[in-house]
Structure 1
Amino acid sequence: MSGVKRKEAPLKASKDVKKQKVTEHKSSRLEKAAAADEDDFDSFSGENNGGVAVTNDQANGKGNANGEDPKKFKLETSSAEAHAKQRALAKERKAAKPNADVIQRSKKIWERLRRKSHVPKEERKQLVEELFTIINGRVRDFVFKHDSVRVIQCALKYANQEQRRMIVDELQADIRPLVESRYGKFLVAKMVVEGDQAIRDIIIPQFYGHVKRLANHPEASWIVDDIYRQVASTQQKACMLREWYGPEFALFQKKPDAKTAAPDAGADLAKILQESPEKRKPILQHLFQLINSLVQKKMTGFTMLHDAMLQYFLVLTPGSEEHNEVLELLKSDIDKEAENGGGDMLRNLAFTKSGSRLVCLAIAYGSAKDRKIILKCYKDTVELMAYDQYAKLVLIAGLDVPDDTKMSGRAILHEVLGQNIEDVEQRLDRMEQIIASTNARLPVLYPLAGMAKWLVNDQDMASLAEIHEIRNTTSKKAPEVRRKDLLEYLSAPLLELVSQRASNLVQSSFGCQCISETLLETQSDAKADAKKAVADLAAGDPTEDGHVAKNSAAGRMLKTLVLGGSFDPATKTTKLAEPRLGFAEVLYPIIKDHLVQWACSDSSFVVVALLESEDMDQKLRKDVKAVLAKGKKKIEAAAKPDAAKKTKGNAGARILLEKMA
């Protein structure tokens, strides 16, 4: 029986040391009546105390108390009539409530307005005007009921800014109760989304001084965090986040106009502790307590929590007890016995700016075992992370820090490139999409190109530099050795992509960069096929429309491949690939018949590279000069400026004339 704890376990019971959970037994009405004192239920007795005596015929089922046959018993009213009476009674109760008529009329207007495609513009305008005549001054009467609050949401949707401001002004004192309401929170969301910045500046300060309570509230937490993440200004975010540092930071902000109380107040915890070092211990204790509370409640998806966790982690001394405690906290929700292995907190952290940085720091500071555990949490989300502007950095840290490149390469590169996809076309489509994505290409091309400016933006470069600085003290493997190990996972898939889809990749500048880096950095038996596929793109007359010679990105790609390496800005020389690429020997036979046209085209520097490349046989260079000499007049014509067409002439053709002299 539920609710009763077994006193003694059977002899063959399993050795489970967990205490059996005892649930409170909820009695039915009948059980409550049975448990009550008999004096309260005298009418149930068969004695001469007001009860009804049961005859023998009744006991035998032959009649009721009046001696009538029970089969002839019939209800005075039908089921339909009873339901009609119930509906009428409910209608009377609704009509007796305050503002029943206006609420009913407003709901009819809402029913009409919500069918947007069926309502002409003029009619909608009239309905909105009528709706505002009804709700003006009565907004508070509508917003705390699940049905009528929709009317206000509809009014916000079709209202102008002045009308929206009217609604917000009426509800200004009720913002906090609304976000805590099961239905009212959606109205607050509507106000900040549909409203302008002036309306947001009215709503957001209503949370000041109450952020800690709202962050723990089951209804208000997600809407407050969404407002924090999406619409709050930098200063408003700082005011909200500062309340995590202790009660004193919340007290001065409790007034609605607190946004002007401390205009320069920031949420940089390191700066706050630097100014007030005596407050370090109470602030850190309060902050960790709030963080741990939300983590234990599994409420780990909030951006505000991620920002707070990062601020806490950044002020800790590496290797200290508190520092290690945070690393353990990040792994605390990982459970091997759970259905998905746990790790929801680490997955949530990866997709926010602060959370991503925190995970990267955890990977950098963690032990080899910690890194393995963390990366394992992302097993099923690697592809999704690659396309995210923040989560991609977690993948880079997972490639750039661990010494176990076999583990990181298989966990990240194998998944990103879709090597588990058996269908070749689907796998190549997947890789094409990755190269075309601004975010997803970074984990794939980073081992090849490193921190090249065309690949890594300034913000990501700063994050990676921070990780590299920590890596110098926590990792043993040399960066170049790690990079070569990772190239083993990339070589075969990328060379296959270039061989099969070179014509597609060359259509974009990043696709051209991918081809260049793949041919220069990877090593595999399939490299010869990839070089041939790229060289074949140059076949034909370069003066025709659609030819790769008219594509500036493709021209730069072919020039780089002919030179046999990428240009090094530091030394202003070409850094040749090892082993040598030898692309010129593959390209020249294909473009030889149109070499003069190439010398006069937009991609004339490809021909210049044939004469300058150190990665080229001298005999082949002489052959190039001989072919160019036969078309010298055409090259001279292309090099001359044309005043009529306002052109300066072909710069590559002029350089070729100098080298031919």
Structure 2
Amino acid sequence: MAAGIKRRAEGKAPSDHKGSKKQKTTFNKPAIKKNAIHEDSTGSGGEHDLEDFSPEETSPTSDDASSDRPPRSKSATKGAKEESSVAGGDKKFKVENTSAESHAKQRALAKERKASKPNADLIARSKKIWEKLRRKSHVPLEERKKLVEELYVIINGRVRDFVFKHDSVRVIQCALKYANKEQRLNITKELQADMRALAESRYGKFMVAKIVMEGDQEIKNLVIPEFYGHIRRLINHPEAAWIVDDIYRQVATSEQKAKMLREWYGAEFALDNKIRDDRLKKDEKPTAELSAILEASPEKRKPIMQNLYQLINQLVQKKMTGFTMLHDAMHQYYINTPAGSEEATEFLENLKSDLDDPSGGGDLIKNLAFTKNGSKVVCLALANGSAKDRKQILRVYRDTMELMALDAYAYQVLLTALEVTDDTRTSGKSVFSELSFESVTNEEERDERLISILTHRTGRLLLLYYLAGDAKWLVPPEAAPLLQEIHTIRETTSKKSPDIRRTELAAYLSKPLLEIVTRRADVLCTSIPGCQAVTEILLGTTAEAKDKQQACAAVAAICAGDPTSEEHITHLPAGGKMLRALCAGGKFDAKTKQVVKPEQPLGFSPALYSVIKDKLVDWATGPSSFVVVAMVEGDELGKDKGDVLKALKKGRKSIEKAAEGKEARPNAGAKILLEKL
């Protein structure tokens, strides 16, 4: 009815007096009949609310009459309402169906439709059980066991009917969570043939993830082979790609990973996976090493490289660059392309394809840095690239330096950038200014973040490598081969001497590192990594004598107090080793069996003696007696050396007692001191 009324209003004829002076028109209030109002109010059939009802629409007159009649004034309309109220016996407008009633009908209809579907009652009951089970802390153990038993009775044999619906798939996930080994295996077997379809489903992919994460190796071995032969298609699928890569990264064994990655090399390898039940194939251990495959079949090089590059390029163009499988494939491709070849050049250009993207760019290079083989790809690209390429790549990491320094793989990218870039001023400023937090104005926050880098297993490598060199305690074993490869490439791509590069980068680091030792020596010297960092900073930095003296004084100050106390630095093995090295004034060379001293004396022994001279005998007989030995053997004490020997002679009996071990284990340092006396 309302629709018809609107059409009448739109169809009014234009006024004949258009453009003429508007005349005031008066009219009498129309006598609105009771039955007319009743007819309109009920004729809508319950499709419209009272808000859609207009007094102008109550007139039973024709379209022509309504078009000739001028619009009512507000007072006339009000009067019409009053008369209508009187004529109707003070009855209010009444619509048969309100909006709430209409929605209730719709809900009831939807409920009827659900009830008519297969297994509707079972799904409804299982969802109620799930509602209880998901609130684990609110359900007693015995009640939970009964609910789980009931749930398995419901889903047994009907798992496929549940998993492809967004609201019931969570029931199966809940069942997997509380299942025993046999129940999980039964659920997996029911779904085994549907694994690919589930992986491609918007909601089903989470079911696949739940199965492989909750299941044992037997279940994983049932699931993963279902993807064999379809990896190339699935890795391009918007839903399946993520779950397939997660399985590859977190769940698959090395053999399963090899089979999955081999499919990137072409249809032949996908077909090879499909016939995995062939007896002749069972004894073979597949390899994903492209070099071995090309060596065995050199005639297949061209199609394999084309297939591999094509799939890599597809994912890069789609911005799907976070996959570990993609990074492994890129690594296999790059290490099998000759340096400087057309293939290598094209690959590097593809690697940098989004660096100039207005929306930000660099996602591929950022993602590569945080995986094992991805970081190797970037390291090799930096080593083989031009100076411009290195600058562009390093710029991408400007906002992620701290995160990369603390990552197990990404730190290698920053270290490689420092090792192969000849412009040490640019590379040092780009990396070290971020890792020393020069832009942080809060001194306390800056110090805490720098200490976290200096005491981190991988983070400290970037700051101490140019002070300590290739020390075994500093360079992780897994990083050494990559560094060696980078150094080999650097011989043909770099013009600067490695020694000059190291000296220049160490000079850039000296000031911020000495400042942190001066301010926070008490914090650094409480841990093994901190003590190692302090040793390398004081012995390896090149700075003004004044700055080093302040740092030495700060370290010596923490040695004050009673050396017999368990909390004293002398009882920390790393602390005693640090103090001994600093008193020696240089680093010990294992090859020559001598201490290599810097050109500028450190001067730590005089600073330490001024703090501990009243407790010197306690130091000589304690766990850090070798610190006193280093002071005596060194040449930094000068005139104070005589005072040291004099004080030790006064405590000779205590030193002899410690050397003989009458009260405890013999003190080797005390024995050496007796010889010196």
Q: Name the TM tier (shorter chain).
A: 0.7 to 0.9
Question: Shift of residue 612 of structure 1?
Answer: 2.2
Question: Shift of residue 79 of structure 1?
Answer: 1.9
Q: Greater shift after overlay, 598-607 or 464-473?
A: 464-473
Conserved? CA contact 2:338–2:344, under 8 Å: yes
Is 1:616 the counterpart of 2:636? The answer is yes
1:439 to 458, 472, 485: 458
Residue 281 of structure 1: aligned partner: 302
Hey, what's the Cα distance between the residues in 2 that align with 1:577 and 1:122?
Answer: 73
Q: Greater shift after overlay, 139-148 or 514-523?
A: 514-523
Question: Shift of residue 624 of structure 1?
Answer: 2.5
Residue 528 of structure 1: aligned partner: 549
2:184 to 148, 164, 167: 164
One-letter amino acid of the counterpart of residue 314, structure 1 = I
Correspondence list, 1:119-130, <5 A: 119-130=139-150
Residue 98 of structure 1: aligned partner: 118
1:496 to 515, 518, 523: 515
Conserved? CA contact 2:369–2:413, under 8 Å: yes
Q: Greater shift after overlay, 247-256 or 417-426?
A: 247-256
One-letter amino acid of the counterpart of residue 216, structure 2 = D
Correspondence list, 1:195-274, <5 A: 195-255=215-275, 261=282, 263-274=284-295
Residue 583 of structure 2: aligned partner: 562
Hey, what's the Cα distance between the residues in 2 that align with 1:551 and 1:170?
Answer: 60
Pair 61,498 (structure 1): closer, same or farther in 2 beyond 3 Å: farther
2:354 to 328, 333, 350: 333
2:612 to 577, 584, 591: 591
Is 1:380 the counterpart of 2:388? The answer is no
Residue 22 of structure 2: aligned partner: none
Conserved? CA contact 1:291–1:308, under 8 Å: yes
Question: Shift of residue 366 of structure 1?
Answer: 0.7
Pair 430,605 (structure 1): closer, same or farther in 2 beyond 3 Å: same
TM-score, normalization by structure 2: 0.85
Conserved? CA contact 1:206–1:256, under 8 Å: no
Conserved? CA contact 2:245–2:324, under 8 Å: yes
Question: Shift of residue 76 of structure 1?
Answer: 4.3
Q: Greater shift after overlay, 582-591 or 135-144?
A: 582-591
1:145 to 141, 165, 177: 165
Q: Greater shift after overlay, 139-148 or 440-449?
A: 440-449
Deviations 1:289-335 (A, max 9, x none): 11011111111110000000000000111111111111111110112
Residue 114 of structure 1: aligned partner: 134
Q: Which has the larger radius of gyration?
A: 2
Question: Shift of residue 479 of structure 1?
Answer: 1.3
Is 1:185 the counterpart of 2:185? The answer is no
Is 1:659 the counterpart of 2:667? The answer is no
Hey, what's the Cα distance between the residues in 1 that align with 2:621 and 2:368?
Answer: 54
Question: Shift of residue 59 of structure 1?
Answer: 5.2
Residue 444 of structure 2: aligned partner: 425
SS at match of 2:445: helix
One-letter amino acid of the counterpart of residue 304, structure 1 = M
Conserved? CA contact 2:276–2:282, under 8 Å: no
Q: Greater shift after overlay, 620-629 or 164-173?
A: 620-629
Conserved? CA contact 2:456–2:529, under 8 Å: no
> What is the RMSD computed on CA atoms of the aligned residues?
2.1
Pair 257,90 (structure 1): closer, same or farther in 2 beyond 3 Å: farther
Conserved? CA contact 1:252–1:258, under 8 Å: no
Residue 367 of structure 2: aligned partner: 348
SS at match of 1:639: helix
Question: Shift of residue 257 of structure 1?
Answer: 5.0
Conserved? CA contact 1:208–1:258, under 8 Å: no
Question: Shift of residue 491 of structure 1?
Answer: 1.1
One-letter amino acid of the counterpart of residue 561, structure 2 = G
Is 1:319 the counterpart of 2:327? The answer is no
Deviations 1:261-302 (A, max 9, x none): 364111111111111111111111110011011111111110
Hey, what's the Cα distance between the residues in 2 that align with 1:406 and 1:364?
Answer: 18
SS at match of 1:463: helix
Hey, what's the Cα distance between the residues in 1 that align with 2:67 and 2:246?
Answer: 68
Hey, what's the Cα distance between the residues in 2 that align with 1:554 and 1:498?
Answer: 14
Is 1:636 the counterpart of 2:656? The answer is yes
Q: Greater shift after overlay, 621-630 or 377-386?
A: 621-630
Hey, what's the Cα distance between the residues in 2 that align with 1:88 and 1:538?
Answer: 81
2:624 to 573, 588, 603: 603
Conserved? CA contact 2:528–2:575, under 8 Å: yes
1:302 to 293, 317, 323: 323
TM-score, normalization by structure 1: 0.87
Question: Shift of residue 439 of structure 1?
Answer: 2.2
Hey, what's the Cα distance between the residues in 1 that align with 2:591 and 2:294?
Answer: 41
SS at match of 1:574: strand
Conserved? CA contact 1:208–1:255, under 8 Å: no
Conserved? CA contact 1:205–1:258, under 8 Å: no
Question: Shift of residue 641 of structure 1?
Answer: 3.4
Deviations 1:436-487 (A, max 9, x none): 2222222111121122111111101122111111111111111121112112
Hey, what's the Cα distance between the residues in 2 that align with 1:404 and 1:307?
Answer: 31
Hey, what's the Cα distance between the residues in 1 that align with 2:643 and 2:212?
Answer: 71
Hey, what's the Cα distance between the residues in 2 that align with 1:127 and 1:60?
Answer: 74
Residue 570 of structure 2: aligned partner: 549
Conserved? CA contact 2:548–2:602, under 8 Å: no
SS at match of 1:542: coil
One-letter amino acid of the counterpart of residue 261, structure 1 = K
Question: Shift of residue 540 of structure 1?
Answer: 2.7
Report the number of matched residues: 596
Pair 372,195 (structure 1): closer, same or farther in 2 beyond 3 Å: same
Residue 29 of structure 1: aligned partner: none
Residue 64 of structure 2: aligned partner: 56
Residue 17 of structure 1: aligned partner: none
Indicate the percent of aligned positions where both proteins have the same amino acid: 59
SS at match of 1:95: helix
One-letter amino acid of the counterpart of residue 276, structure 1 = S
Question: Shift of residue 255 of structure 1?
Answer: 4.9
Hey, what's the Cα distance between the residues in 1 that align with 2:228 and 2:67?
Answer: 72
Question: Shift of residue 80 of structure 1?
Answer: 2.2
Conserved? CA contact 2:266–2:304, under 8 Å: yes
Pair 473,191 (structure 1): closer, same or farther in 2 beyond 3 Å: same
Deviations 1:143-191 (A, max 9, x none): 0010010100111111112111111010000000000000000000111
Question: Shift of residue 126 of structure 1?
Answer: 0.7
Hey, what's the Cα distance between the residues in 1 that align with 2:599 and 2:409?
Answer: 34
